[in-house]
Amino acid sequence: MFVEIPHTADKAIYVESTTLEGLFYDSALGLMAISGISPLKSKKIYSENYEVSDVDSETLLVDFLNFLIYKMDLGFYLISSEIRIDSIHLFSKNYFGKFKNREIYIKSATFHNLKIVKYNHLYRTKIVFDI
């Protein structure tokens, strides 16, 4: 689950999920939503694996979201993703489609006040995107 939250100069979302993988996936869906993607009607889908290791979950999340921003810059949006996280390692199989336009160009996911917390069986975070 994600919702857009107010931010003075950039875009931000609040995300929560029962799993860390779900938090990453919902964060990706939030990114697509705030970008205002208009998908093409084409049924052509391609998949691409993404794998990264880093120091903590927050850095993995920023790396993953910035990978998706790069794909959007190439004209692709995330349709779905199968994500596996093991400590400081992320592997995802991502399915992309083409889009015709987007309302907002996001430069990057940031570390601004980024902290993933687990509280009452839910993983939660707020993500700020630089526009």
Q: What is the pLDDT of residues 52-111, one digit of tens each?
A: 998 999 999 999 999 999 999 999 999 999 999 998 999 999 999 999 889 999 999 999
Contact 85, 96 (CB under 8 A): no
- Among 3-7, 24-28, 31-35, the range scoring the smallest mean pLDDT is 3-7
Binning the chain into helix, strand and coil, the percentages to the nearest 5 are 25, 45, 30
Q: What angle do CA 109, 110, 115 make, to 5 degrees?
A: 110
**Which of 25, 8, 7 is CA-nearest to residue 16?**
25
Contact 92, 50 (CB under 8 A): yes
Contact 123, 16 (CB under 8 A): yes
On whether the pTM is more than 0.75, the answer is yes
Q: Which residues pair with 83 in a beta bridge?
A: 92
What is the tally of structural domains in the chain?
Answer: 1
Length of the chain: 131
Q: What are phi and psi of 92, to 5 degrees?
A: -140, 140
User: Domain range holding 54?
Assistant: 2-130
Q: Which residues pair with 17 in a beta bridge?
A: 123
CATH of the domain at 35: 3.55.10.10
